[in-house]
Amino acid sequence: MKIKKGDEVIVIAGKDKGATGKVLRVDPGRERVVVEGVNIMTKNIKADAQRAGKESGRVQVEAPLHVSNVALVEDGKPVRAGYRIDEDGTKVRVSRRTGKEI
């Protein structure tokens, strides 16, 4: 996967199309990402002994999105990512649009 935790991404498909946010978590096995403030869902939380001091109620959390529905952002526009090997042998992500490092 070319999207990592902390990247700025834009949603390119789905109900939140056009929204941008920071990647909070990445699940490469399921090919999913969680983006801050995007794909909000409401969970009902039950009070129990393990959550001592926490009340029951409804909590809004970000649900995971498939990685194909998001793209990296550069200058407010979606870009694809590629890789380049530097002279010292390190692998670096680059923008396919401009060639700059991401």
Structure letter (DSSP) for residue 4: -
Residue 56 is predicted with a pLDDT of 85
Question: How many whole angstroms separate alpha carbon 61 and alpha carbon 44?
Answer: 11
Residue 21 is predicted with a pLDDT of 97
Q: Which residues of the chain register pLDDT less than 50? A: none
Length, in residues, of the chain: 102
